[in-house]
Structure 1
Amino acid sequence: MKTQWSTSAYAVDDRAEAIRQTIRDRVVPVHIALPERPEDVYCEVSITGVGRVQLSTVRANPATVERSLRLAAADWEPCLFLSLQRAGTSGVVQDGRAATIRPGTLGCYDTRRPYTLLFDGGVDTHFLRIPVAELGLPDAVLGDVTARVLGGDGASVAALGASCLSRLAAVPDLHTGPAAEHLARATLELVRAVIADACDLEVAARVAREESLGPRILEYLRRHLTDRDLTPGAVAKAHHISLRHLYAVLAREGVSPGEWIRRQRLEGARRELAGPGARRDTVAAVAHRWGFTDASSFGRSFKDAYGVTPRDYRDRPHG
């Protein structure tokens, strides 16, 4: 649904509140500081959607827009905004950084944290709103590009993005019809490319390492499962992280390391005890091979897990 809106449709004294309500209800809940004199308040807004991407164009008098900590913490779909300056300049402040956005460049901010937008010379800007979930990018990558100038170099990916987004905003007929869904997907891919190109490579590498840390630790545990000195502390040391970090990483994988090691060792011992050559070794020898130092505790754990002693399990027929 497209919205074409102007303060000219409202009585002078109602315009400020009409602006605030339209932006709050259709774009994002924010506080907007406007000129004190009602006759100085004006605004024109065009809002449309391309799939899950919302595109709005705003022309208005000087204003300051603030998303407070309270609003950022409210139950509202997390979104990333890209602002494309049409004329003049604007400022964006977030995450302890500030950037001045000029025509042809992009600014970026995240609704999950407080931010301030400064339009001291008036508003003449396109705004692209994208749900964070649609981007599928790590928070650390998104956080690296907030309140930074994206573009300004004619050869950069961000410059290409600014040009394409400007064209998208200028041609409303592109937003509907059979090609709109494909255009929405292409727009998301373009925004991902802009962010990836602007993201600090060290940050991106760190994010990639952190995201792969859980699977890498689990693979390490599998390879060293029969080591009797395999403990959470030893695993943390092998990966150059703290024990606390180890537990946090594996919690994201739904794993408690001590319990996971014990369960996997029991399963390995159970498979060996069911094998054709199991009778050639004692139960204690099998337990020892799978990292258990105490045959008695192994026997108790095995029975708790499988309802039968290791010896009885070994001696029963296994088809």
Structure 2
Amino acid sequence: MKMLWSTSRYTVDDRAEAIRQTIRDRVAPVHITLPERPADVHCEVSITSIGRVQLTTALANPAIVERSARPAADDWEPCLFLGLQNAGSSTVVQDGRAATLRPGMLSFCDTRRPYTLLFDRGVDAHFFRIPVAELRLPDAVLREVTARALGGGDSAVELGASFLSRLAATPDLHTGPAAEHLAVTTLEMVRAVIADACDLEVAARAAREETLGPRILEYLRQHLTDRDLTPSAVARAHHISLRHLYAVLAQEGVSPGEWIRRQRLEGARQELAGAEAGRDAIAAVAHRWGFTDAARFGRSFKEAYGVSPREYRERPHEYRERSHES
């Protein structure tokens, strides 16, 4: 759900407190220092969620944003903020470092520790709030990249900045069928930026290993309809041994062969329930989803959903609830 907010709806004297409350309630519990003259206070904010990633775009007066030491009673989810400077400049301070950002540059700050954002000439930036748990990166890596000015020639960083800038500027992509996939892509892009920017080679290797499981799962999702998708092929694609593949996916609670079968069945079920389902033979649908034996597909489908593919295609609404419960 998208929220568009502006100080123009408030009286001049109420604007400062309105800004503080909106950011505190919707984005992060921070202290904001604003201009002393009420007439100098102005702000326009767009806040939207792309999966588990929150995107805030702000255009505002000069300000100082401070996050103090996290109190014991703070129930906010630990997050990493990725700032993308649109225009002007800003400064990020955290972990004993300070970084000045120019347009197109990126920076990180971690809500688990104090930080300060200085916008001497106003705010014109995008802020991506990402739960630390979603990144699945070691703390040593995250601490290494906070308060660093990223950009200016680093290939992965430049690619990440371009992707995030276009994503922020295209609100039609924030909702609808593509949003969930874009959220996954955004997380992967942020991980790539962090790994590329990290000075600790050992930590960078650890970061790549930490994200191997989610990357393999996303690879599986993208190649579900490939009939030659096998655990061995997946291992080769990621330059790891078959044993290591099974070990990594076991940490995700996944058995690759069974996971592929279930996801393919679900893809076939959704296609059979679609408006165009009657145009193709069931064997053709099964073939598209990687099943080479139509009879085996029928048995697996009935075992999973309690009805045959033909029965399901004829009355999908009747069996949908049963299918979801399976």
TM class by shorter-chain length?
0.5 to 0.7
**Offset at 1:151?**
1.3
Corresponding residue for residue 63 of structure 1: 63
Native 8 Å contact 1:107 1:147 kept in 2: yes
The 5 Å alignment of 1:80-119 reads: 80-119=80-119
Corresponding residue for residue 142 of structure 2: 142
Corresponding residue for residue 195 of structure 1: 194
Residues 171/72 of structure 1: CA separation in 2 closer, same or farther (3 Å cut) = farther
Once residues 135 and 108 of structure 1 are traced to their aligned partners in structure 2, the CA distance between those partners, rounded to angstroms, is: 13
**Offset at 1:189?**
0.3
**Offset at 1:205?**
6.1
The 5 Å alignment of 1:23-42 reads: 23-42=23-42
Once residues 127 and 26 of structure 1 are traced to their aligned partners in structure 2, the CA distance between those partners, rounded to angstroms, is: 13
Q: Matched residue pairs, number?
A: 209
**Offset at 1:39?**
0.6
Native 8 Å contact 2:70 2:113 kept in 1: no
Say if 2:76 is the partner of 1:76.
Answer: yes
Once residues 150 and 203 of structure 1 are traced to their aligned partners in structure 2, the CA distance between those partners, rounded to angstroms, is: 20
Native 8 Å contact 2:70 2:112 kept in 1: no
**Offset at 1:11?**
0.5
Native 8 Å contact 1:29 1:67 kept in 2: yes
Corresponding residue for residue 53 of structure 1: 53
| Max Rg structure | 1
**Offset at 1:45?**
0.1
Corresponding residue for residue 301 of structure 2: none
Corresponding residue for residue 43 of structure 2: 43
Once residues 142 and 68 of structure 2 are traced to their aligned partners in structure 1, the CA distance between those partners, rounded to angstroms, is: 19
Say if 2:23 is the partner of 1:19.
Answer: no
Native 8 Å contact 2:67 2:114 kept in 1: yes
Say if 2:121 is the partner of 1:156.
Answer: no
**Offset at 1:73?**
7.2
**Two-structure CA RMSD over aligned residues (Å):** 1.8
- 1:256-289 per-residue CA deviation (whole Å, 9 max, x = no partner) reads xxxxxxxxxxxxxxxxxxxxxxxxxxxxxxxxxx
Once residues 20 and 159 of structure 1 are traced to their aligned partners in structure 2, the CA distance between those partners, rounded to angstroms, is: 32
Residues 137/70 of structure 1: CA separation in 2 closer, same or farther (3 Å cut) = closer
Residues 72/95 of structure 1: CA separation in 2 closer, same or farther (3 Å cut) = farther
- 1:231-265 per-residue CA deviation (whole Å, 9 max, x = no partner) reads xxxxxxxxxxxxxxxxxxxxxxxxxxxxxxxxxxx
- Give the TM-score taking structure 1 as reference length: 0.63
Corresponding residue for residue 184 of structure 1: 183
Native 8 Å contact 1:88 1:103 kept in 2: yes
Look up the equivalent residue of 1:111 and give its one-letter code: T
**Offset at 1:72?**
8.5
**Offset at 1:92?**
0.2
**Offset at 1:70?**
4.2
- 1:196-236 per-residue CA deviation (whole Å, 9 max, x = no partner) reads 0111133516858xx9xxxxxxxxxxxxxxxxxxxxxxxxx
Determine helix, strand or coil for the equivalent of 1:58.
strand
Once residues 205 and 163 of structure 2 are traced to their aligned partners in structure 1, the CA distance between those partners, rounded to angstroms, is: 30
- 1:169-191 per-residue CA deviation (whole Å, 9 max, x = no partner) reads 10100011111111100000000
Q: Percent of counterpart pairs with the same letter?
A: 79
Look up the equivalent residue of 1:98 and give its one-letter code: A
4+ runs deviating over 4 angstroms: 70-73, 205-208
Residues 72/86 of structure 1: CA separation in 2 closer, same or farther (3 Å cut) = farther
Corresponding residue for residue 306 of structure 1: none
- Give the TM-score taking structure 2 as reference length: 0.62
Residues 129/68 of structure 1: CA separation in 2 closer, same or farther (3 Å cut) = same
Determine helix, strand or coil for the equivalent of 2:177.
coil
Corresponding residue for residue 307 of structure 1: none
Corresponding residue for residue 120 of structure 2: 120
